[in-house]
Amino acid sequence: MTLPLLEFVRAARSAGLRVSPAETIDAARAVEVVGLADRGRLRDTLSLVLAKTADEKARFETCFDRFFSREGFGAAAPPPPPDARPAGAEPPPGDGPGEGLGGGGLAAMLRDGDRAGLASAMEEAAAEAGLSDIAVFTQVNLFTRRVLERMGLEALEREIARLDGTPQGDALRRQRDWLRAQVRSFAQQNLRLFADGDAERQRERRLAATRLSAIDRRDRERMRVLVRAMARRLAVQYGRKRWRSRRGQLDARRTIRRNMGWGGLPFLPVWKRRRVEKPRLVVLCDVSGSVAAVAEFLLLFLHSLNEALSGLRSFAFSGDLAEVSAILQGQPIERAIPAIMDLVGFGSSNYGNSLAAFEAGWMPVLDRRTTVIILGDGRGNRTDPRADVLARMADRCKQVIWLNPEVRTVWGTGDSDMLRYAPHCRVAATCATLGQLERIVAGLLRDGGG
């Protein structure tokens, strides 16, 4: 009972379920109580123990059906040879025990149509061959061959060669080909069970390291899912109240209270601490044609972070600046981003004009708790950069963070004004990938905005 359960837990983790060692032990104890005979009861029991969210429940159902549908054979077997022996008859030479798994030998099981024996032999051979370690689709043929060899393929080939040219030999050859197809299908099922999750995670890591401006159209939907998952993870981690110990500053009152059992002697010192405030953000996104793809993902990321942020004001600009907080909060993100692009997107960027518009209309929203994040390449098409406005914004707010999708070596080249803006920013960093974006925002949340 333990080995199949451990294999199922591996498959469940590959499918995206978060299963801890303690939950695995609970699942083993539950299976000991309900047994394996009733498939429906087993599914319900394991679902209660292992799946914790609605998404995990759906993943569990799919994984459970895949794992337990591997038993047996799907397609109908070819008819047995014309002189097939009746059940219980003596096996011909070369078909005795030891000629592969399954007792009477592989050829005998094929002649008898013993599907249960073939299924058991395939499971045992797969365990011996380490089929659950399959990692990539190019290994399907390799593991198919290994499983067949451990089932007794060599003895079966000898039997086919002995009967070559006879109807019995032709029928046995067709049954061998059918068996090979079944084992290959079994290997593919194991690939989906144990490798699809790892392959998906590798794909996610690749996407997180890919420049946002270079994301292929076919990957954009997957990127949206990945962005939401990252934002949700950060929101869960940093959304609760957090305290930071001020190491070295003793809290005398709480220390005495904690050590009353030792007569007030400070065996257990208590340090002073301060609450880590959730940052208040004002985000200015350049949605001109050159950085529109990057801005889309940043808006999606910050839209999903509302749980961890006490206040979020969002602005978008290309030539003109407009507040888009109401659009992001009042519409699903799938409709909000196109609406923002229709409002101010895809134009020629004018940073000086946009900063001046912010100063004229929204400068009072900045205070000492506010962090300003600006996403843009800093290329204003040779217009007045108005770095003086950014300097006044930096004086009013807690900090200015500039996320530039361009590499640092091109800052200041051509029509780039980044070298004029950078001195007024606490952080001016390259942010061209989702991984870089997550690290920067995670640092911001961890430190409470600085």
**Phi and psi at residue 251, to the nearest 5°:** -95, 95
- Range among 70-74, 266-270, 382-386 rated most confident: 382-386
Answer yes or no: is pLDDT of 181 > 60: yes
> 196 burial class (0-12, 13-18, 19+ CB within 10 angstroms)?
middle
pLDDT of residue 447: 60
Return all residues near 150 (Cβ < 8 A) that are at least 6 apart.
Answer: 100, 101, 124, 125, 128, 129
Q: Indicate the SS3 state at residue 288.
A: coil
Helix (H, G, I), strand (E, B) or coil at 146: helix
Q: How far, CA to CA in Å, does 337 sit from each of 80, 135, 300, 316, 329?
A: 63, 38, 8, 11, 11
pLDDT greater than 70 at residue 342: yes
Average pLDDT over residues 147-175: 89
Q: What is the pLDDT of residue 97?
A: 37
For residue 198, the model assigns a pLDDT of 67
Most confident residue range from 7-11, 96-100, 149-153, 307-311: 149-153
The span from the CA of 434 to the CA of 207, in Å, is 8
Higher pLDDT among residues 36 and 360, named by residue: 360
pLDDT digits (tens, 9 = 90+) for 35-52: 878 888 988 999 988 988
Residue pair 50/22 in contact (Cβ under 8 Å)? The answer is no
User: What's the Cα-to-Cα distance from 94 to each of 91, 145, 158, 300, 409, rounded to whole Å?
Assistant: 8, 21, 8, 67, 73
C-alpha dihedral, 333 to 335 to 340 to 343, nearest 10°: -170
Q: DSSP readout, 188-256?
A: HHHHHHHTHHHHHHHHHHHHHTSBGGG--GGGHHHHHHHHHHHHHHHHHHHSS-EEEEEEEEE-HHHHH
- Average pLDDT in the chain: 80
**What pLDDT is attached to residue 236?**
63
Q: How far apart are CA 172 and CA 424, in angstroms?
A: 81
Tell me the one-letter amino acid at 243. W
Q: Is the pLDDT of residue 24 over 80?
A: yes
C-alpha closest to that of 308 among 275, 274, 285, 279? 279
pLDDT of residue 357: 94
Residue 297 pLDDT greater than 90, yes or no: no
Q: Give the Cα separation of 49 and 46 in Å (integer).
A: 5
Percent of the chain past pLDDT 90, that is, above it, reads: 17
The model's pLDDT over 239-288, given as tens digits with 9 standing for 90+, comes to 555 555 555 677 788 888 888 878 777 778 887 776 656 667 888 988 88
One DSSP character per residue, 44-97 reads HHHHHHH--SHHHHHHHHHHHHHHHTTSS-SSPPPPPPTTPPPTTPPPPTT-ST
Neighbours of 169 (CB within 10 A): 16
Residue bearing tokens 């060899």: 149
**Residue corresponding to tokens 């999708």:** 405
Give the model confidence (pLDDT) of 395-405 as tens digits: 999 899 998 98
Greater model confidence, 363 or 313: 363
Helix (H) or strand (E) holding 313: strand 311-317
Considering 174-178, 242-246, 294-298, the range whose residues carry the highest mean pLDDT is 174-178
User: Closest Cα partner for 302 from 232, 361, 351?
Assistant: 232
Spatial distance between the Cα atoms of 253 and 125, rounded to a whole number of angstroms: 68
Q: What confidence tens digit (pLDDT) does each residue in 73-117 have?
A: 655 666 665 554 444 444 444 444 334 443 348 888 888 888 888
Asked if 420 contacts 394 with a C-beta cutoff of 8 angstroms, the reply is no
Percent of the chain past pLDDT 70, that is, above it, reads 80
The candidate with the shortest Cα–Cα distance to 92, out of 362, 81, 150, is 81
Output the CATH code of domain 278-446: 3.40.50.410
Instruction: Check residues 302 and 22 and name the one with the higher pLDDT.
Output: 22
How far from the centroid of its chain's Cα atoms is residue 38's Cα?
Answer: 33
- In this predicted structure, the answer to whether residue 197 has a pLDDT above a threshold of 50 is yes
- The structural domains of the chain, with segments of one domain joined by +, span 2-69, 243-276, 278-446
Helices vs strands, H then E, count in the chain: 19, 8
Which token pair is 96?
């005795």
Cβ count within 10 A of residue 36: 12
